[in-house]
Amino acid sequence: MKNKLIFLLAYFSIMFAQELPSGTPKYFQLDSIPSIFQINVSGPSSFPRGLIHSIDPISYLNEDIYFLEIQLDDLNSFHFSFLQSPFPDGMTLYLIDMNTQGWVGPYTREIVETQSIQLTGQMKSRRILVEFSVPIDAQVPFPLQEIFLPERPDNFEETLNPGGPPHREENPTILLCGYWPPSNECIRPFSKNPLINAEGWQGQNWENLGYDVISFFPNFTPPNCENCGQGQGDFEVDYQDTSTDWWNILDTLSPVAIITFSRGYIDYSWEMEWKYYNRLYWVPDYTEPLYPTPIPPDSTVEEGAIRYSSLPMDSIVSAIESADLGLNPYIDYSDGAGGYLSEFLGYHGVWTKAIMDSLNVPCYTAGHVHVGGLIDWETAQEAAKVTLREVIKLVEEFQELPGDINEDNVVSILDLLLVIFHVLGISELNEGQWVLADVNFDLTVDIYDLIRISNIILDY
């Protein structure tokens, strides 16, 4: 049984190599492990100094491997922070969920320093095995500093920017893009290409909700490949191919919503990325040139600028939990989306929304989802559908005609008067009227909305 488990984990670890340098944790390769040192943690706390001296390493293939099992009193989501000193050369760190046999990592000095990572990925378990390996006889400190619960940043609500001008065409389009299994498989039913979707396109007027859902992703042979490489077709695992495909697709589609997907940690997470960096430093891909061109990719903002997701992330988390799919949905508030093709693709989505906003073209929401590598394809497809439904609910909120405050299907002087009375304090708008009056989507109703509504009436 353990050999089968090792094979399965090795299979997923090879797929994970497309996102970050990888390998299977040594825990799954060792035939036997002596008793593992354990500590109990009751909540957010720092690790004691000198903890490394309590752990007896195991020598294996010219490495010393340290194992520490952390047992938590409560089942909460949490991160680990790294010790504020450089990782030793040759050190590799994994965090293994002992309940699901999935893991977060690997982390190495190159990965942590290049991507400026301060926190590990989010986990949710009562039993975590910390595994770190170093060259034999190396003197190292314990690499983790503390464990703490994720906290929503104070500016989270400010960064959300859903909405846009009204869209009145029949069956507006929602664009889905993905990379490696299972993320490409979860959106395969929405591909219009019969060569990679033999079952036929299922996205036309999807679930009779009035939206056409179209997906694009690379194909791998076989689909459950062990060493997927660059792939073939749309969005190959290559910066230049991804960018070229992206803008070509956007030349033919005008999506009202964009969701990008890729494989995340080797676990059961449905991780929504909050922020995306216009990075100067990226993880190299497979084919020259190995990095984005230009670099940083977005010349309209400064190097290191952050763009944010506008997906209804809280609603998606709640809906995935209610669907009882056995997944761990959460919002990643921390260090971007990984500095590889995942973040590159996700950045293109939120970047496109910003461009469409500036052109007054409807694109109501965009963001990226990391799909856990242990999720089976059927479950991943169900989770993608749940996510789509929540996105459509958000889009529906903005399909109302902005400025039509009395909802008579026309923007007129009557609507303008309602805003004037509100601004002057003569009368108050109710919640629904307030949403329709905020035509510039800055979360206030003021003189600027009056100007925009006047322009709508005058057809400027």
Q: Is 158 helix (H, G, I), strand (E, B) or coil?
A: helix
Tokens 């301060």 sit on residue: 118
Which has more confidence, 86 or 106?
Answer: 106
User: Would the pTM of this model clear 0.85, i.e. be above it?
Assistant: no
- Determine the pLDDT at residue 408: 74
User: What letter represents residue 392's amino acid?
Assistant: I
- pLDDT category at 167 given cuts 50, 70, 90 is low
- Determine the pLDDT at residue 76: 86
Query: CA–CA separation, 71 vs 39, rounded Å?
Result: 6
pLDDT at 442 over 90: no
216-228 in b/e form (b: 16+ CB < 10 A) is bbbbbeeeebeeb
- Determine the pLDDT at residue 10: 36
- pLDDT category at 20 given cuts 50, 70, 90 is very low
Range 166-170 average pLDDT: 58
- Determine the pLDDT at residue 36: 92
Query: CA–CA separation, 211 vs 193, rounded Å?
Result: 18
pLDDT at 16 over 70: no
- pLDDT category at 61 given cuts 50, 70, 90 is confident
Query: CA–CA separation, 92 vs 281, rounded Å?
Result: 21
In this prediction, what percent of the chain has a pLDDT beyond 90?
55
* Poorest-pLDDT segment among 83-87, 244-248, 412-416: 83-87
> pLDDT (tens digit, 9 = 90+) per residue, 371-413?
999 999 999 999 999 999 999 999 987 766 667 888 776 788 8
> pLDDT (tens digit, 9 = 90+) per residue, 329-339?
999 998 788 89
- Burial class for 123, CB neighbours closer than 10 Å (0-12, 13-18, 19+): buried
- Determine the pLDDT at residue 401: 65
pLDDT at 134 over 60: yes
396-425 in b/e form (b: 16+ CB < 10 A) is eebeebbbbbeeeeebeeebbebbeebeee
Tokens 């077709």 sit on residue: 233
Is the bond leading into 34 cis (omega within 30 degrees of zero)? Answer: no
Q: Which domains does the chain show, CATH number per domain?
A: 2-148 (2.60.120.290), 156-397 (3.40.630.20), 413-458 (no CATH)
Per-position DSSP letters for 426-450, written without gaps between them: SS---HHHHHHH-TT-SS--SHHHH
Beta bridge pairs of residue 60: 63
* Poorest-pLDDT segment among 23-27, 141-145, 207-211, 431-435: 431-435
- Determine the pLDDT at residue 399: 65
- Determine the pLDDT at residue 338: 87
* Poorest-pLDDT segment among 107-111, 190-194, 388-392: 107-111
- pLDDT category at 8 given cuts 50, 70, 90 is very low
Give the strand pairing for 173-177 and 212-216. Answer: parallel
- Determine the pLDDT at residue 441: 67
Range 435-456 average pLDDT: 83
Range 160-176 average pLDDT: 77
**Category of 18 on φ-ψ map: left (φ > 0), alpha (ψ -120 to 50) or beta:** alpha
pLDDT at 316 over 90: yes
Neighbours of 38 (CB within 10 A): 12
- pLDDT category at 258 given cuts 50, 70, 90 is very high
Supply the mean pLDDT for the chain.
87
Range 228-250 average pLDDT: 92
Who contacts 406 (Cβ-Cβ below 8 Å, separation ≥6)? 414, 415, 418, 433
